[in-house]
A and B are shown apart, each in its own frame.
Chain A
Amino acid sequence: MSSRWLTLFIESFPKILIPGLTVTIPLTVIAFTISLIIAILTAMAQYARVPVLTQIIRFYIWIFRGTPLLVQLFVVFYGLPKVGVLLDPFPAAVIVFSLNEGAYSSEIVRAALESVPVGQMEAGYCVGMTYMQTMRRIILPQAMRTAFPSLSNSLIAMVKNTSLAANITVTEMLMTTQRIVARTYEPLLLYLEVGLIYLIFSTILTFLQSWGEKRLGAYMVKEA
């Protein structure tokens, strides 16, 4: 029995890992990058209290934080074709994960922007810099340093959340595992195995996070 398990484990490992490398990771990297752009732009608009735009952004965040990610995936992939918008599974997943994560990260970045002392902007003005110059050179870098741990958490969460894309037929790691389970009837072993691969991915990201924090933290006050 145990040697059969070992053989199955070893045989299935690359079969599960490959969609991890070709689907889960690209999906995460693309969606997280787009979400970061959404987050920074929307957070800056909220920080500057741009009228109308701020209300639109609040509405967007309200919708995407207030509804389940799985429901959002279903609406976009199964729902939108009803109104003529037909998307392949992968782009549909990218869109939903980007918008969903963008909404959460927007709040993280906005809070980080607001944590930068007002005097930093005033000092920028006083050396003759414009609002945007000071934002780009002084405020945003400090805010991103503050937001970094929270954003890293979001990234790790997203790696795991991509497993939900199995529900809209994206053949990522979980869907691949489900298929192997259907053939071999070994759910315990295989689901533990795919869980292990997620754990490896998350662990690598955690290491990258602490490395990044050290690198970014050169100007930060050391904790007492």
Chain B
Amino acid sequence: MLLEAKKVTKSFGSHDILKGIDLSVDTGEVAVILGPSGAGKTTLLRCLNFLEIPDSGTLIFEGQSYTMNHMARTEIRNYRLQTAFVFQNFNLFLNKTALQNVTEGLVIARKIDKEQAEKKGLQALERVGLLSHRDHYPHQLSGGQQQRVAIARALAADPQIIFFDEPTSALDPELTGEVLSVIRNLANDGMTMLIVTHEVEFARTVSNKTIFMENGVVVESGSTSKVFNTPDKERTAAFLKSFNRF
């Protein structure tokens, strides 16, 4: 198992957002997290990259075990160097061009020399089909293009796993397609991904594993075909059915 999280809890004030989440992702696996708004999906993903520090929980990554609420700064940083995160609202560096967005982490965080980084950056931009936009600043790109640059930024670092936090939720409907197809290509290339999404049909077709969450707990998790076709829990069935009404 590449990544395993056990009994992750997180509360904000008196609100228990995560009530003991267990989750695992294997190398090469595409796992999706589904669930209604307020289920804690985004908080979970942010906890898994320590943008929020969980109140408790264990993380096992590449065989190494960590207590999630007691990790040294350097441990978090080393872990982040092996993972990547794609945000709902892109969060491209506003003062950097598309190519600089991709190379920044390579040059500054990983100390890869500039020429090498640029080569990797251009390869990554090519993979998301934006080579010709290398010198554009974020404000010169559409939402869909910005998100594809963000995916290139994630890819360039050769991460073990990429976390996607609702990657199409901030996009106009006609722009979601280009982003989803980029993610689908990564899946076909064997990239390990953990994706929080509201695009149920996309989730069904892209993933091997589905995790259904509600009210801060994992209601059901298993292979995508199992969860979609013969869910064990009534709540899962009801949630998935609500997307098939039309």
Question: In the assembly, what is the distance between CA of A219 and CA of B138, in Å?
Answer: 8
Question: In the assembly, what is the distance between CA of A133 and CA of B93, in Å?
Answer: 13
Question: In the assembly, what is the distance between CA of A117 and CA of B105, in Å?
Answer: 19
- How distant is A128 from chain B, measured CB to nearest CB, in Å? 4
Which residues of A have CB within 8 Å of B85?
123, 126
Question: In the assembly, what is the distance between CA of A133 and CA of B83, in Å?
Answer: 18
Which residues of A have CB within 8 Å of B118?
none
CB interface residues, B 185-240, toward A, < 8 Å: none
Tell whether A186 is near chain B: CB-to-CB under 8 Å: no
Beta-carbon contact of A141 and B95 below 8 Å? yes
- How distant is A3 from chain B, measured CB to nearest CB, in Å? 58
Taken residue by residue from 92 to 106, chain B's Cβ proximity to chain A (1 for < 8 Å, 0 otherwise) reads as 111111000000110
Which residues of A have CB within 8 Å of B108?
129, 133, 137
Q: How many chain B residues touch A (Cβ–Cβ < 8 Å)?
A: 28
Beta-carbon contact of B81 and A128 below 8 Å? yes
Question: In the assembly, what is the distance between CA of A122 and CA of B50, in Å?
Answer: 10
- How distant is A138 from chain B, measured CB to nearest CB, in Å? 5
Beta-carbon contact of A219 and B94 below 8 Å? yes
Tell whether B70 is near chain A: CB-to-CB under 8 Å: no
Nearest CB in chain A to that of B110: its residue: A128
Place the interface of chain A in its size category.
20 to 34
Tell whether A218 is near chain B: CB-to-CB under 8 Å: yes
- The count of A-to-B residue pairs whose CB atoms sit within 8 angstroms is 71
Tell whether A120 is near chain B: CB-to-CB under 8 Å: yes
Among candidates A125, A137, A142, residue contacting B80 with C-beta atoms closer than 8 Å:
A125
Beta-carbon contact of A133 and B91 below 8 Å? no
- How distant is A95 from chain B, measured CB to nearest CB, in Å? 34
Which residues of A have CB within 8 Å of B87?
119, 122-123, 126
- How distant is B16 from chain A, measured CB to nearest CB, in Å? 23
Question: In the assembly, what is the distance between CA of A126 and CA of B101, in Å?
Answer: 12
Beta-carbon contact of A128 and B109 below 8 Å? yes
Among candidates B77, B83, B92, B157, residue contacting A123 with C-beta atoms closer than 8 Å:
B92
Beta-carbon contact of A218 and B93 below 8 Å? no
Which residues of A have CB within 8 Å of B94?
120, 142, 219
CB interface residues, A 86-140, toward B, < 8 Å: 117, 119-120, 122-130, 133, 137-138
Beta-carbon contact of B110 and A219 below 8 Å? no
Tell whether A145 is near chain B: CB-to-CB under 8 Å: yes
Tell whether A221 is near chain B: CB-to-CB under 8 Å: yes
Beta-carbon contact of B95 and A142 below 8 Å? yes
Beta-carbon contact of A127 and B139 below 8 Å? no
Beta-carbon contact of B109 and A219 below 8 Å? no
Tell whether B176 is near chain A: CB-to-CB under 8 Å: no
Beta-carbon contact of B137 and A125 below 8 Å? no
Q: List 9 A-B contacts (CB under 8 A).
A: A119-B89, A120-B91, A123-B87, A126-B80, A126-B84, A129-B108, A137-B104, A219-B137, A219-B138
- What 5 new A-B contacts, CB under 8 Å, besides A126-B80, A137-B108, A219-B137? A122-B91, A126-B51, A127-B109, A128-B80, A222-B139
The 3 closest A-B pairs by CB, nearest first: A127-B105, A128-B109, A119-B91
